[in-house]
Amino acid sequence: MDVYFRRAKQVLESQSLQDVVVKGEFTASSLPEGWPWAVLCGTEEVLRLLEGLPVDLYGIPEGTVFQPRAANGARVPVMGIQGRYVDFGELETSILGMLCHPSGVATRSARCKAAAEGKPLLSFGNRRMHPAISPMLDRSSYIGGCDDVASPQGAELIGKEPVGTVPHALMLLMGSDEAALRAFDALMPSSVPRIMLVDTYDDERSGALKACRTLPNLQGIRLDTPRSRRGSFRQIVQELRWEMDMQGHEKVRIIASGGLDEQQIRELSGSGVDSFAVGTSISNAPTLDFSLDLVEVDGEPMSKRGKFSGRKYPYRCPQCYQWQVSLHSDDSIVCGCGSQMEMMEVPLLKGGRRCNEPRSAKEIRDSVLRQIEDVNNI
Ligand SMILES: [Zn+2]
């Protein structure tokens, strides 16, 4: 919490204005890096923060692919809150943080998933951020479209097993790839995929073929070639695929990692990479710039300069994903493309009580993937 909200509350109470009921809306002014759309993420955490407080909360469902501005220029409210200002005003900083960073991570993840053209995407970026937020990073990247995550806490949050191979340190400690691979295979239960990092001592080609020969049940090799050593990563992967196939290792998958971003994923598309492990690009995604603005005080529409006043309802075209904002929840709005727009708001909390059962991270992710496919087909 930021102290200025606490001071505002103290002033309101000193003026006997603590019972004034307000309506506020959470909106973004624009999206970073020219993104045409974003994925809303973090709603579940906001619900857990506000549950039990005497407020009503409503908004577009978590995982909704949205645009910040509607066709009529109004900002699209992704979430709205109604109650006494003194009951929730102090929480503004926390609520915004729970939406801004996760939505940036989920959006970047969705964009990487689209660049990967459906190939599995692994979220490996926890090391770039403070450990306290690893579970949030993992959940947000999964909701955006990553298939698996690396931290046990994050995996638990999304109901999956964490994934990972081995660090370069293991090979260095054991003196050779073969020794590390054999010891790993002997110890780990069969449920742990046999995927080996191959570029500790050797170049990618000789390391991969050596790993294939060492372990007949090898499922994949991971390339972690740093950019400075790479040359054409695409050609390295193509050569590797060819040589592995040539020697009968068609089933061994190739996992690419090492500072990959959207552009590099796109460049590797069709090269023979079977899955992508992405770290910094996802964990350090730009945050969205959501803000909370009051739009109604004591029943009267009002707003600060530059914002549209009054309680608003967000609509989306199911065909072309354009947005419109209306003062009515039952408007019949026809999109420029001719389709009937749908009202996107759902109730979240009524008097501090949940209006719906919590949705699983998988359910939210599935809806994101469907929407991303739609927006990329427009
Ligand atoms: Zn439309």
pLDDT digits (tens, 9 = 90+) for 135-173: 999 999 999 999 999 999 999 999 999 988 888 899 999
CA dihedral 119, 122, 125, 127 (to 10 degrees): -150
What are the tens digits of pLDDT across the range 5-35? 888 889 989 998 899 999 999 999 999 999 9
User: Per-residue confidence at 2, pLDDT binned at 50, 70, 90?
Assistant: confident
Is the pLDDT assigned to residue 229 strictly greater than 70? no
**For residues 181-197, average pLDDT:** 92
What are the tens digits of pLDDT across the range 247-265? 999 999 999 998 899 999 9
**In the 8-state DSSP scheme, what is residue 159?**
T
Q: What percent of the chain has pLDDT over 70?
A: 98
Residues 6+ apart with CB under 8 A from 378: 320, 321
Provide the pLDDT for residue 164. 83
DSSP string over 139-203: HHHHHHT-SEES-HHHHHHHTS-------HHHHHHHSSHHHHHHHHHHHS-TTS--EEE--SSS-
Provide the pLDDT for residue 200. 84
CA of 17 from ligand 1 middle (Å) equals 44
What are the tens digits of pLDDT across the range 290-334? 999 999 999 999 988 888 999 999 999 999 999 999 999 999 999
Domain with CATH 3.20.20.70 in the chain: 117-283
CA of 376 from ligand 1 middle (Å) equals 14
Exposure string of 144-158, with b = 16+ CB inside 10 Å and e = fewer, is: bbbbbbbbeebbebb
CA of 367 from ligand 1 middle (Å) equals 19
Nearest to 138, CA basis, from 279, 260, 232, 9:
279
Cβ count near 214 (within 10 Å)? 17
User: Per-residue confidence at 228, pLDDT binned at 50, 70, 90?
Assistant: low
Is the pLDDT assigned to residue 68 strictly greater than 70? yes
CA of 373 from ligand 1 middle (Å) equals 16
Q: Alpha-carbon distance 24 to 238, whole Å? A: 54
Domain with CATH 3.20.140.10 in the chain: 3-103+286-318+343-360
User: Per-residue confidence at 198, pLDDT binned at 50, 70, 90?
Assistant: confident
| Selected residue with higher pLDDT from 99 and 6 | 99
Q: What percent of the chain has pLDDT over 90?
A: 83
CA of 336 from ligand 1 middle (Å) equals 6
Q: Alpha-carbon distance 360 to 159, whole Å? A: 8
CA of 64 from ligand 1 middle (Å) equals 16
Architecture of domain 3-103+286-318+343-360: Alpha-Beta Barrel (3.20)
User: Per-residue confidence at 373, pLDDT binned at 50, 70, 90?
Assistant: very high
CA of 372 from ligand 1 middle (Å) equals 16
Token code pair at residue 110: 């969705």
Provide the pLDDT for residue 202. 84
Question: Phi first, then psi: what are they for 283, rounded to 5°?
Answer: -65, -35
What topology does CATH give the domain 117-283? TIM Barrel (3.20.20)
Provide the pLDDT for residue 91. 95
Tokens 């389709």, residue located? 339
CA of 326 from ligand 1 middle (Å) equals 16
Question: Phi first, then psi: what are they for 341, rounded to 5°?
Answer: -80, 155
CA of 323 from ligand 1 middle (Å) equals 8
**Is 208 in a helix, a strand, or coil?**
helix
Mean pLDDT rounded to a whole number for the chain: 94
CA of 285 from ligand 1 middle (Å) equals 29
CA of 334 from ligand 1 middle (Å) equals 8
